[in-house]
Structure formats: C-alpha cells, structure tokens
C-alpha cells in the first residue's frame, strides 16, 4: 500500500472534521486551508507535467 502524504491526510482529516462538526465555521475554515495547502502542492506538479507533455507532443 502506498503511503499517504501529509497534505492528503490533512485534507482527509479536514473533510471528516467538517462533516462531524455539521459544517461549522471553524471546520469550514480548516477545510479551506487544507484545500489551499493541497492545491499549492499539486499545481506545480501539474505545471511540470503540462510542460513536459508540450515538449513531446507525439507521446
């Protein structure tokens, strides 16, 4: 089994917390911050993947 990264666990815990707290304001703030943190880690990877695929269009 692949080990989960911190940002994935943080987002999962924030979703569980928001659902358990019936979408209270602090849990929504936690969920938004976890989402932004996850996006900040994913967007550079997608950007690199996009530019690599642009360099090799036949593959």
Looking at residue 59, its pLDDT comes to 59
For the chain, the 3-state helix, strand and coil shares in percent, each to the nearest 5, are 80, 0, 20
Query: Which positions ≥6 away from 39 have C-beta within 8 Å?
Result: none
- 38, 6 Cβ separation under 8 angstroms: no
pLDDT at 29: 96
Q: What is the pTM of this model?
A: 0.76
pLDDT by residue for the chain (59 residues), tens only, comes to 678 889 999 999 999 999 999 999 999 999 999 999 999 999 998 898 888 887 776 65
């Amino acid at each position: 089994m692949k080990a989960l990264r911190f940002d994935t666990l943080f987002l999962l815990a924030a979703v569980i917390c928001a659902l358990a707290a019936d979408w209270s304001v602090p849990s929504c703030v936690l969920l938004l911050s976890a989402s932004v943190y996850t996006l900040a880690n994913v967007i550079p990877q997608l950007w690199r993947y996009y530019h690599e695929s642009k360099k090799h269009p036949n593959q």
